[in-house]
A and B are shown apart, each in its own frame.
Chain A
Amino acid sequence: MDSNKAKNLEQILESSIKDPKDLTRYLYYRKKLKEEGLSDFISILPLGAAINWARANSVWPLTFGIACCAIEMMAVGASKFDLDRFGSGVFRATPRQTDLMIVAGTVTYKLAPRIKKLYEQMPSPKYVIAMGACASSGGPYTQLGYQVIKGVDKIIPVDVYIPGCPPRPEALIDAVLLLQDKISKTIPQQEAI
């Protein structure tokens, strides 16, 4: 299973290099490192993959707890279910310094313009996790709440949805890991390089 996954990863990295001269150079250096026995200490990657690796392992979230799911988000930041070991431990208060917005709680009409404004203030590339049943689709208040928006994806685009009311802290960690997978598979924008 592991060797299959490693071969798969190598194929993905090879296919992401477009220029044939760059490809031969990459394969030559990779073979050289393996021969010298240094591939445990030095890794050679195409530039896009290196940027993705840096971005995926340091996703900084925005403190945006609205309701009950916010308490589980705080529990994930505390010491039993530590989120810091995945690189996401630094919860910033200002959207200008974050990559990730975890919408934890019910979204109402009164709060909607603020969410949109905060999302637009975050710099690209930015990601959104809809945590809990209320943020995914309205939750228990879907049919009868007159001020509740049925899911935060009516206002901003969402990358990962987490079901649960409230979801366990392990579910939030799973969502962050899924997001890291998603980030490492994207092709970084040409302007960003």
Chain B
Amino acid sequence: MNYELISSKLNEKFSTNQNQLNTSTAGDPYFLINKEQLLPICQYLKENEELWFNFLKLITAVDQGDKFSSVYHLYSYKYEFGITLKVDLEKTNPVVDSLCGLYKAANWLERECYDLMGIIYKGHPDLRRILLPLDWQGYPLRKDYVAPTEYNGIDNT
């Protein structure tokens, strides 16, 4: 199992010019995929006999200055191999499909990304804040966030 095998299998099943393997930067390579194709690609990766990515490790929300990204780390226990999928979203309307139907681990991980970055996951059964209080204003991990000096009467300077 290696990146070329996965890349070739993805390219033969889905269209070729939209799923590129990015190896230009240092560190780990990642697959940059189209946000409409996220759910079918993940389903294929999970159910195909030669790939079998049955473990969703991590969902990350990244603020890259001019756009958001939702990054997924998948892992296969059978072949002991992990990959990274990255989906780019625009800042004004960050909406992407939810993976809750495939992996139950996505439930809490996506709620955390919504809570801290404000990315909306379509199809999530229960999208509300998980770490911050329910009436918190704003999304802290965005680069333009300003922390409040007072909350519910407790002055915090």
A and B touch in the complex (CB under 8 A): yes
Closest residue of chain B to A143 (Cβ to Cβ) is B147
Alpha-carbon gap, A146 to B151, bound state (A):
10
CB distance from B128 to the nearest CB of A (A): 14
Alpha-carbon gap, A109 to B156, bound state (A):
10
A50 on the B face (CB < 8 A): no
Contact B156 A150 (CB under 8 A): yes
Q: Which residues of A contact B132 (CB under 8 A)?
A: 110, 147
* Interface magnitude class on chain B: 10 to 19
The interface bits of chain B over 139-157 (1 if a CB of A lies within 8 angstroms of the residue's CB, else 0) are: 0100001011001101111
Q: Which residues of A contact B147 (CB under 8 A)?
A: 146
Contact A146 B154 (CB under 8 A): no
Q: Known contacts A146-B140, A147-B132: does B151 contact A109 (CB below 8 Å)?
A: yes
A17 on the B face (CB < 8 A): no
Closest residue of chain A to B147 (Cβ to Cβ) is A146
Chain A, 133-189, CB within 8 A of any chain B CB:
146-147, 149-150, 154-155
Alpha-carbon gap, A146 to B142, bound state (A):
13
Contact B156 A110 (CB under 8 A): no
Contact B148 A112 (CB under 8 A): no
Closest residue of chain B to A146 (Cβ to Cβ) is B147
Contact B140 A109 (CB under 8 A): no
Contact B152 A109 (CB under 8 A): yes
Contact B155 A109 (CB under 8 A): no
CB distance from A73 to the nearest CB of B (A): 25
Closest residue of chain B to A151 (Cβ to Cβ) is B156
Alpha-carbon gap, A12 to B70, bound state (A):
69
Alpha-carbon gap, A37 to B46, bound state (A):
88
CB distance from A107 to the nearest CB of B (A): 10
B27 on the A face (CB < 8 A): no
Alpha-carbon gap, A150 to B150, bound state (A):
12
Q: Which residues of B contact A109 (CB under 8 A)?
A: 133, 151-152, 154
Chain B, 49-105, CB within 8 A of any chain A CB:
none
Q: Which residues of A contact B154 (CB under 8 A)?
A: 109, 112, 149, 154-155
Alpha-carbon gap, A147 to B147, bound state (A):
8
Q: Which residues of B contact A146 (CB under 8 A)?
A: 140, 145, 147-148
Alpha-carbon gap, A112 to B151, bound state (A):
11
Residue among A113, A146, A155 with most chain B CB within 10 A: A146
Given B133, B145, B148, B155, which contacts A110 in the complex, CB threshold below 8 Å?
B133
Nearest 3 CB-CB pairings of A with B: A146-B147, A110-B133, A109-B151
Q: Which residues of A contact B (CB under 8 A)?
A: 109-110, 112-113, 146-147, 149-150, 154-155
Apart from the given pairs A146-B140, A146-B148, 5 other A-B contacts in the complex at a CB distance below 8 Å: A109-B152, A109-B154, A147-B132, A150-B156, A154-B156
Q: Can you list 15 A-B pairs with a CB-CB distance of less than 8 A?
A: A109-B133, A109-B151, A109-B154, A110-B132, A110-B133, A112-B152, A113-B152, A146-B140, A146-B147, A146-B148, A149-B156, A150-B156, A150-B157, A154-B155, A155-B154
Q: Which residues of B contact A (CB under 8 A)?
A: 132-133, 140, 145, 147-148, 151-152, 154-157
